[in-house]
């Protein structure tokens, strides 16, 4: 059997190894799921009443990952067909053990680690899609729309259940909240998501952004962090 053309290489993300580690490992990405409106103040700023309606999900293709390696500044190409591209700083959960109908009580056993992520969004196309009842793919799933830092294994970083999440643009603070403010906690999100999809090792879950989203332009430098996961920087080019 021959492929009719070379298959795309697997999408992988580096593991954040301790400085003394002799190995350099990578996390192979299966799918990217994203939670919408998962911080109360962000739901309000987008015009919704966050009355703990069930979580909802959308997806990005795995190859939307833009690796931002430790010590380097990532480069996010400003996408075509938009003039209103927003940052959304998010905690990303990396699934290491799959399953369906996972109970919230056992959900954290399925987590391999955590990472810093940006859910970059063509807000103008998303607003149009919402108005017309159309899908969000062009708004959310475009190329390079998922800048991602290295994955910190639970074995080293523990579980991230509280701690600051923040984003600066050009050294001006734009977003600041606490991971404990998630409307749907990480175990609840995994439990709910796994009723729709059989989760697989390699799945990533963008858990939602806090308030303060806004537009960026070419040349802007986004720097974001989460307590326990360090920080990363991405320039819009």
- The residues binding Mn ion (CB under 5 A) are 88, 119, 209
| Alpha-carbon span 43 to 66, nearest angstrom | 26
| Alpha-carbon span 57 to 192, nearest angstrom | 10
User: Which phi and psi angles does 197 have, rounded to 5°?
Assistant: -135, 145
Nearer to Mn ion, 16 or 205 (CB): 205
User: Which phi and psi angles does 130 have, rounded to 5°?
Assistant: -60, -45
Least gap, CB of 165 to Mn ion (angstroms): 12
| Alpha-carbon span 110 to 105, nearest angstrom | 11
Nearer to Mn ion, 119 or 203 (CB): 119
Least gap, CB of 62 to Mn ion (angstroms): 17
Least gap, CB of 89 to Mn ion (angstroms): 9
Nearer to Mn ion, 15 or 139 (CB): 139
Bridge-based pairing of strands 26-28 and 111-118 is unpaired
Bridge-based pairing of strands 32-36 and 56-60 is antiparallel
Nearer to Mn ion, 121 or 223 (CB): 121
Least gap, CB of 38 to Mn ion (angstroms): 8
In the block, residue with structure tokens 């959960």? 93
């Amino acid at each position: 059997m021959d492929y009719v053309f070379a298959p795309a290489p697997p999408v992988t993300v580096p593991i954040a190894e301790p400085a003394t580690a002799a190995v350099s490992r990578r996390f192979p990405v299966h799918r990217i799921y994203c939670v919408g409106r998962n911080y109360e103040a962000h739901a309000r700023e987008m015009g919704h009443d966050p009355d703990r309606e069930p979580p909802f999900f959308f997806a990005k293709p795995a190859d939307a990952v833009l690796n931002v390696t430790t010590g380097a500044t990532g480069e996010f190409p400003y996408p075509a067909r938009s003039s209103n591209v927003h940052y959304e700083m998010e905690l990303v959960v990396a699934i290491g053990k799959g399953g369906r109908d996972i109970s919230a009580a056992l959900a954290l056993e399925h987590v391999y680690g955590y990472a810093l992520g940006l859910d970059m969004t063509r807000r103008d196309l998303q607003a149009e899609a919402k108005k017309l009842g159309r899908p969000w793919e062009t708004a959310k799933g475009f190329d390079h729309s998922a800048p991602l830092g290295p994955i910190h294994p639970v074995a080293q970083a523990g579980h991230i259940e509280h701690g600051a999440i923040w984003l600066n643009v050009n050294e001006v603070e734009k977003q600041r909240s606490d991971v404990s403010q998630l409307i749907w906690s990480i175990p609840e999100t995994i439990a709910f998501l796994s009723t729709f999809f059989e989760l697989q090792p390699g799945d990533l879950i963008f858990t939602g952004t806090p308030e303060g989203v806004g537009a960026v332009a070419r040349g802007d430098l986004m720097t974001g962090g989460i307590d326990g996961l360090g920080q990363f920087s991405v320039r819009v080019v």
